A and B are shown apart, each in its own frame.
Chain A
Amino acid sequence: MHKKMAFSFPDEVLEHVFSFIQSDKDRNAVSMVCKSWYEIERWCRRKVFVGNCYAVSPRMVIRRFPEFRSIELKGKPHFADFNLVPDGWGGYVFPWIAEMAGAYPWLEEIRLKRMVVTDESLELIAKSFKNFKVLVLSSCEGFSTDGLAAIAASCKNLKELDLRDCEVDDLSAHWLSHFPETYTSLVSLNISCLGSDEASFSALERLVHRCTNLKTLRLNRAVPLDKIANILRHAPQLVEFGTGTYTADVRPDVYSDLAGVLSSCKELKSLSGFWDVIPDYLPAIYPVCSKLTSLNLSYATIQSPDLIKLVSHCPNLQRLLVLDYIEDSGLEVLASSCKDLQELRVFPSDPFGAEPNVSLTEQGLVAVSLGCPKLQSVLYFCRRMSNEALVTIARSRPNFTRFRLCIIEPKTADYLTLEPLDVGFGAIVQYCKDLRRLSLSGLLTDRVFEYIGTYAKKLEMLSVAFAGDSDLGLHHVLSGCESLRKLEIRDCPFGDKALLANAAKLETMRSLWMSSCAVSFAACKLLGQKMPRLNVEVIDERGPPDSRPENCPVDKLYIYRSIAGPRFDMPPFVWTMDEDSGLRLS
């Protein structure tokens, strides 16, 4: 019966139906229905997502999806953000660009995260894809402004150039002048990561002036406050704006210019930047505050009273990023003013100081959880926590989908009872049934992992540090968390047993990172030998793991499923455990 139905629709009809299915997960599900759907789907998939660039080879992707227009690739593991992945580990995009340059002259969009992008890659992109429209580089490195110049010069249809959180070799600000005078299609430009040297203001101004469709503009720190008015004057249609440095001698003309031009931006919904903020200039943004849905003040080193004033002007705020200068008092105001708040991130102003420098505690998080009914995503750095607070938070906010708590001092106990925080985090996973991402901190025993394994059925990503007592902890997670895709662990006493007992689980996940744990070289070899569809990488800067006894723990372990087999671009300090010899040196 079903077979008949499949044949009764011409392929074009099914293709048309599939064109409404955008999400990757759904597309993958569609392709698994039957062979003919697999075939139709693969010919009409336009956006390809590869969560781990080493899980599959460029050629395999090209073979399966002959007509995609957009690709998203992710490279290094998440812990690379915190310097845990040594430089040179991998994640090179060039082989992908090279393969696609030949196969896909019509490629339009490339989105990369945590990959190494060279100027050569950028130049190849500029040369190969005539209709190239979107380049988003998130937390990437390896390129300079020369590569950007190549993109600017050649990509006539470029709509989006977004360099969020990248490390760019800032050789010259004049790369912006490489956009030809005839070029007007820019819709989104994010150069906030570029260096603080002199920027080519006039080129920037002219660019903004002629690109009348510009909706997003995120400037870098080099752009001084008094230049902003000139730039914004040409772009009253902006929806998202990131200032440069927000400090200047307090001058009434600069202020009124700025306030005037900002108030003419009627579409503005998102503000960011605010480096080196001088509080005197903050009121200039008050006219736009009532429409703001997103505010990133995470570089704004202003104190609580100024933050409170600002936040109370923004009743429609959905997303707030802020430093802990906001303090508990500021978060209480936030809780009462911003009832639409969905996402909150509070960053530490002094992460390495021994003593708290601000009055920000668990109370702030409790206040926001109680007061903001739509809150679903939180990243919170603080210095103390209690089980009681966590239980209150969990009970009042069961709609959390992302909960990341970082208590700055490792292994900090409940400050009220001196007990571990197992019960508190247990409440989070028990009440928040849709929780997809969780980061743990504080003093935690194997118990918390039992709770996680029992309740966190939708959990996809878990980050663990300085927690647990034994392999039982890891076993709870690997055997209980059905939806787990990414697990990253550092400095926990997890060894071989849980890993080997749950080896099959690893094939159902994207990746597992374990550093400074207790997994022996012998176990890594065994895993590599017995699990051909896993790449088991041992990262150890101390030297070859076979120069130490087999039962010695490895420094870092990165395991990921792959149908591409072991990679060959590894640096000297990475070894892949595989079937043949158990050890392959690069």
Chain B
Amino acid sequence: MELQLGLSLPSTPIFPFKMLDLNSYGYELREGLGPFGINVNNNCDSCSSSCSSSSSGGADDGGGGTKKRRLFDEENRIVPKTLPLLFWTNQRPNDEDEPKDVDDHSSSAIFKNDGEGLVGWPPVKAWRKKVRRRVANVRAAVENSCGGRASSSTYVKVKMEGNAIARKIDISLHHSFESLTTTLMRMFDISDENGQKSFKLTYLDREGDWLLAEDVPWRTFIGSLKCIKLIRSRC
């Protein structure tokens, strides 16, 4: 996505008041171009010429608004002290930015980590999460002792570090870490080298935290498990 910013600022320091008024970039969504029919890719020489021919803003409707409403009363605007670094164009953004590009470049597609859990969402303070953890664990333990699970499905996603493909296992078939790790090792074709475990079992819990499975009892693990990730053991 090339970014042409029109960096060379216009040479004349004095612009008509209306031109500098950032707030009057009247963008009429339903109509064609606004007062500044500038293509963002033009350099600023053409900007100044097309800007001076812009129509004036017109008064604010004062609420209600017809289709043709201008959004702001220009007389009340203060002249900003700096020039905009980019002149806003009213071209439909889709014409230029392919929204797809956002996904291509961004490591932050809307659902991070393939739905493994969003960081900081819902926006509940970490401090409250600690309280909930106690509540959730108690409830999960109770549910497990009754043989039930919090959610209806017992299949859990498993990913291995360095392996792009995620697998799923039926967690209800296992009752201990031993049986789980044996199955996982078979599934991902891992072998114990020299008696040392080459992979560590980590999991994402219901609060969105990544934890080491070996640190918690099986019951706790089962009660708050969302998905599993095998990471290479570095020791």
Contact = CB atoms under 8 A, between A and B. Distances in A.
Interface of A: 79, 81-84, 139, 165, 167, 193, 275, 298-299, 301, 347-355, 381, 406, 408, 410-411, 430, 439, 450, 453-454, 463, 465-466, 469-472, 475-476, 479-480, 490-491, 493, 495-498, 500-505, 507, 515-518, 520, 522-523, 526-527, 530-531, 542, 550-553, 555
Contacts of A81: 123, 125-126
Contact of B29 (A355, A450, A465, A479): A450
A518 to B, nearest CB: 5
7 closest A-B pairs by CB: A516-B108, A82-B120, A500-B86, A470-B93, A504-B80, A500-B85, A501-B88
B201 interface: no
Interface in B164-211: 206-208
Nearest to A439: B123
A158 to B, nearest CB: 24
A301 B27 CA distance: 50
Nearest to B101: A518
B208 to A, nearest CB: 7
A551 B1 contact: yes
A82 B124 contact: yes
A556 B226 CA distance: 26
A493 B84 contact: no
Nearest to B119: A83
9 contacts: A81-B126, A84-B120, A301-B135, A381-B122, A406-B122, A406-B123, A466-B110, A480-B23, A526-B7
Given A406-B123, A516-B108, A551-B2, A495 B102 contact: yes
Contact of B105 (A439, A542, A552): A552
Contacts of A503: 82, 84-86
B85 A530 contact: yes
Contact of A352 (B86, B89, B208): B208
Nearest to A505: B22
B9 to A, nearest CB: 9
A163 to B, nearest CB: 11
Nearest to B206: A352
B106 interface: yes
B32 to A, nearest CB: 15
B119 A84 contact: yes
A391 B136 CA distance: 35
A518 B106 contact: yes
A466 B112 CA distance: 12
B97 interface: yes
Given A82-B124, A354-B151, A551-B3, 17 more contacts: A79-B120, A82-B125, A352-B122, A353-B206, A410-B121, A466-B110, A469-B99, A475-B88, A480-B23, A496-B3, A497-B93, A503-B85, A505-B80, A516-B112, A518-B102, A530-B82, A550-B3
A553 B102 contact: yes
Nearest to A472: B93
B85 A491 contact: no
Nearest to B125: A81
Contact of B207 (A352, A475, A498): A352
B122 A167 contact: no
Contacts of A406: 122-123
Contacts of B5: 500, 522-523, 526
A504 B82 contact: yes
Contact of A501 (B25, B29, B105, B207): B25
B123 A82 contact: yes
A355 to B, nearest CB: 8
A516 B110 CA distance: 8
A478 to B, nearest CB: 8
A446 to B, nearest CB: 8
B86 A504 contact: no
Nearest to B111: A410
A355 B94 CA distance: 35
A479 B25 contact: yes
Contacts of B1: 520, 551
A23 B4 CA distance: 45
Contacts of B207: 352
A180 to B, nearest CB: 31
B203 to A, nearest CB: 14
A83 B108 CA distance: 16
A246 B1 CA distance: 58
A486 to B, nearest CB: 15
Interface in B40-86: 40, 63, 65, 71-72, 80-86
Contacts of A354: 151
B123 A299 contact: no
A28 to B, nearest CB: 17
A553 B106 contact: yes
Nearest to A502: B22
A531 to B, nearest CB: 7
A470 B119 contact: no
A193 B208 CA distance: 22
B22 A501 contact: yes
A447 to B, nearest CB: 8
A317 B84 CA distance: 49
Given A465-B121, A516-B106, A523-B3, A497 B88 contact: yes
Contacts of A167: 127
Nearest to A406: B122
A553 to B, nearest CB: 5
Nearest to B6: A500
Nearest to B126: A83
A422 to B, nearest CB: 12
B105 to A, nearest CB: 5
A193 B127 contact: yes
B127 A471 contact: no
A470 B25 CA distance: 16
A526 B23 contact: no
B102 A504 contact: no
Contacts of B40: 497
A379 B114 CA distance: 29
Nearest to B99: A493
A353 B150 contact: yes
Given A470-B93, A495-B97, A501-B22, A275 B82 contact: no
A351 B97 contact: no
Contacts of B208: 352
A520 B102 CA distance: 10
Given A84-B120, A518-B102, A351 B132 contact: yes
B233 interface: no
A496 B102 CA distance: 12
A502 B132 contact: no
Contacts of A550: 3
B87 interface: yes
A453 B86 contact: no
B234 interface: no
Contacts of B142: none
A538 to B, nearest CB: 14
B12 interface: no
A411 B93 CA distance: 21
B84 A500 contact: yes
Contacts of B101: 518
Contacts of B23: 479-480
**Most chain B beta carbons < 10 A, residue from A355, A497, A523:** A497
A298 B128 contact: yes
A91 to B, nearest CB: 15
Contacts of B71: 453-454, 480
A292 to B, nearest CB: 22
